[in-house]
Amino acid sequence: MKVGVVGAGMVGSSAAFAMVLQGACSEVVLVDQNEKLAEAQAQDILHATPFAHSVRVHHGNYKGLTGAGVVILAAGVSQRPGETRLELLGRNAAVFKQIIPRILEVAPDTILLIATNPVDIMTHVATQISGLPPERVIGSGTILDTARFRALLGEQLGISSRSIHAYVLGEHGDSEVLAWSGAAAGSIPVEAFGRQVGRPIDAGVKSRIDEAVRRAAYRIIDGKGATYYGIGGGLSRIVSAIAGDEDAILTVAVRMAEVEGVKDITLSLPRIVGAKGAVGTFWPDLSADEHAALKRSAEVLKKAAEGLEV
């Protein structure tokens, strides 16, 4: 499958590099208003293919996106130190108004995969601008937050994070919800597993992990200016699920009619992701507190999107 990446900065190039390392697709084309940057990134990534997978990597203009099964939107302005994702909204919505029609002109059947922050609202905006069915406009959402949650639980329990089943729901940002009530190691609730292996998960551990997941981006941005490797890997994982028609369960953002009583909202829940996009949603069992937190997260996003003219 051919994949386009619009925006050849650190997020877009990291996604392209991850797709080459993982063999997530057969061709990658990078598009950027700075053509010299797109060409340099494509050449650098191409030179890694002998060590990874035989993926065709090149740069181009929007016509180069013709036939792409997925187009990753990583274009926009970068998040500043101390700036919340929601504060990026006004500076990035205008960018999408310019680029989405140009993408769909040459690739009308593509799936749009949104990485630009604030990703939930930008996915909402992209769905509205594109006119595509919601299942074909997917935000990376909390796929990275979920990975961070699983990684930290794996460290706490002394097992591979790949054996952890746990989700982060809602906004990709400050109001996100770590769904502790359904978190499991294998088929065993994490609290019970922790007791068995002598690594208890008590209130203090939960608070530490919650803070580490919720504030991870701020710490990384403070240290090196931006986050890109983790989300690059997450975007590649989504592309793999689409290209392989996996029907994989991933926490991604899709526009929905209603969540916890909040109407017309885009946020992350576990979705079934395959060749047709995010074709199904399931609701994990949540505690009353988690339901309330998810509603608050939806309300935060709804308020941020109110009055937005697209």
- Give the catalytic positions in this structure: 172
Helix 89-106 × helix 119-130 angle, to 10°: 40
- Residue 277 carries which DSSP code? E
Instruction: Specify the pairing of strand 248-259 against strand 262-274.
Output: antiparallel
Question: What is the C-alpha to C-alpha distance for residues 129 and 114, in angstroms, rounded to an integer?
Answer: 13
Label residue 232 left, alpha or beta by phi (over 0 means left) and psi (-120 to 50 means alpha). Answer: alpha
Locate all alpha helices (DSSP H) within the chain, ordered by sequence. Answer: 10-22, 35-46, 89-106, 119-130, 143-157, 190-197, 203-214, 216-224, 229-243, 288-305
- Beta strands at 184-185 and 188-189: parallel, antiparallel or unpaired: antiparallel
- What's the CA gap between 15 and 167, in Å, rounded? 22
Token representation of residue 65: 């996106």
Long-range contacts made by residues 223-228, C-beta under 8 angstroms, separation at least 24? Answer: 225/78, 225/81, 226/10, 226/11, 226/78, 226/79, 228/10, 228/11, 228/13, 228/14
- The answer to whether the bond into 200 is cis (omega within 30° of 0) is no
Instruction: Classify 114 as helix, strand or coil.
Output: strand
DSSP label at 265? Answer: E
**Residue 94 CB burial class (10 angstroms; 0-12, 13-18, ≥19):** exposed
